[in-house]
Each structure stands twice: as C-alpha cells, then as structure tokens.
Amino acid sequence: MGSQWGHDKVYMRAKYEGYRSRAAYKLLEIQEKFHIIRRDDNVVDLGAAPGSWLQVLRTLTDGKVLGVDLNAIAPLDGVETIEGDLTDPVIQKQVIAMLGQVSVVVCDASPKLSGQKSYDQARSVALGEDAIRFACNVLKQGGNFVVKAFQGGDFPELHTLAMEHFHAVKTYNTKSTRKGSTEFYLIAKNFKG
Ligand SMILES: C[S@@+](CC[C@H](N)C(=O)[O-])C[C@H]1O[C@@H](n2cnc3c(N)ncnc32)[C@H](O)[C@@H]1O
C-alpha cells in the first residue's frame, strides 16, 4: 500500500474518505469516463474484498449490489456478499438466484502473485477469461462488463474474447493505478446476449 516514503496520497485519501481501499478511485474514474452503471442496475462485483468497489457501487445504483470473493467481506449496508470462487458454476447459479437480472458485472480480481512475471500475467489473463465467461452466464442483453488485466503476451486473447461477446470494447489506464504497474481495465459495453 505504501510508497517508498510511507503511505501515498491516494491511500491517505481513501483512509480519510472511509473507503476500504484505494481501489475505490479506479471505479469512480471508470464510471465518470464510461458511464457503465445506471441508477436502477443490479451489479455483481467479482474479486470484491475488502469492499471499496462495493462501497462505490452502493452510491451509484439503487439496484442490488452483490460481491463475490474467495475471502470473506466484512458486512456493508445494502450489499450482499458470497464467499466463493468466481470460477465455480455453483457460485454463478447462486448469483442468478440472488439477483435475478444482472445489468453490470465488474471484476477487480487478481490471483496471488508469485513474482514470476510471465506466469503471473498468464494466470491473471486466465482469471479475466473466467470473469468474461461468468459475465456471459449472468448478464442480460445490453449489459456492461469491466475487468482488470495486465499488459503482456496473453492479453490479445482476452480482448478477442470480449469482442466476441460485447459490441464495444475499450482499454483504460486509471490515474489512480500505482506508478510502474502494468495494470489496466477492459471496458466492455452492450452484451450481445
Ligand atoms: C485487488 S483485490 C480487489 C479489491 C476490491 N476491488 C476493492 O475495491 O476492495 C483482488 C481480490 O480478488 C480476489 N480473487 C482472486 N481470485 C479470485 C477468484 N477465483 N474468485 C473470487 N475472488 C478472487 C482476491 O481474493 C482479492 O480479494
């Protein structure tokens, strides 16, 4: 979380404003630029712990908000959570049972990093592909999807998969991402169904 000199400005701002992590500002930026969430949308957040995206989502929609993570998510008012693996088909069925129609899926999930760059990159792309498949199983036609990815060899496959299922796909680097990180987001709008 901290920079070389201790905690950085974004971290301090998140703490001051009551967000569970600095990641909150990435979703706020994405929403400001791409308008992915509308006021009545039901939204699923994959890889949601500790919950700062859920905090943001709760302010962006009056619809249902549901977070899924391998780790438990501390309770948040007006937010439902599932402790489980996003790649598990049982979890996908549970999401449909809890939300009914899903308008938006966002995914900030990242696998535990090993430090071995190409291995970590391949695993993060694989997780991104799992998230796209998840989204395709639960989204209504016309729905939107956001997923975190990392620059590198396997990324074109993720982009191609997204293009197969959504009418418009863009990539975006948030200003809140730490310097030196290769992280960016794929913004996919208008699910083909
Ligand atoms: C960077 S954190 C997400 C931060 C979150 N967006 C927030 O604002 O608090 C990444 C999360 O992805 C989760 N994750 C990784 N693989 C997962 C999987 N297969 N299923 C569910 N969650 C997963 C991790 O447990 C971790 O909590």
Instruction: Kindly report the backbone phi and psi dihedral angles of residue 81, in degrees, each rounded to the nearest multiple of 5, phi listed first.
Output: -135, 155
- Would residue 1 count as lying in a domain? no
- Would residue 14 count as lying in a domain? no
Of 5-9, 69-73, 126-130, 149-153, the range with the highest mean pLDDT is 69-73
- Would residue 6 count as lying in a domain? no
- Would residue 46 count as lying in a domain? yes
Cα(193) to ligand 1 centroid in Å equals 26
Interior angle at CA 142, CA 53 and CA 124, nearest 5:
45
Find the CATH number of the domain harbouring 106. Answer: 3.40.50.150
- Would residue 10 count as lying in a domain? no
DSSP structure class, residue 41: -
- Would residue 62 count as lying in a domain? yes
- Would residue 34 count as lying in a domain? yes
C-beta separation of 57 from 105 below 8 A: no
Domain count, the chain: 1
pLDDT, tens digit (0-9, with 9 covering 90-100), for 65-108: 999 999 999 999 999 999 999 999 999 999 999 999 899 999 99
β-pairing verdict for 6-7 and 43-46: unpaired
* Domain extent for 152: 21-191
Instruction: Answer whether residue 58 shows pLDDT above 50.
Output: yes
- Would residue 74 count as lying in a domain? yes
Average pLDDT over residues 45-73: 98
Q: pTM to 2 decimals?
A: 0.94
Instruction: Answer whether residue 1 shows pLDDT above 50.
Output: no
pLDDT, tens digit (0-9, with 9 covering 90-100), for 104-146: 999 999 998 888 888 888 888 899 999 999 999 999 999 999 9
Nearest Cα residue to atom 2 of ligand 1: 109
Higher pLDDT, 37 or 119: 37
Lowest mean pLDDT across 5-9, 37-41, 132-136, 172-176 = 5-9
C-beta separation of 51 from 72 below 8 A: no
CA nearest neighbour of 46 among 130, 121, 103, 125: 130
Q: Could you please report the per-residue DSSP string of 82-147?
A: EES-TT-HHHHHHHHHHHSSEEEEEE---PPP-S-HHHHHHHHHHHHHHHHHHHHHHEEEEEEEEE
Instruction: State if residue 109 touches ligand 1 by the CB under 6 angstroms criterion.
Output: yes
Instruction: State if residue 95 touches ligand 1 by the CB under 6 angstroms criterion.
Output: no
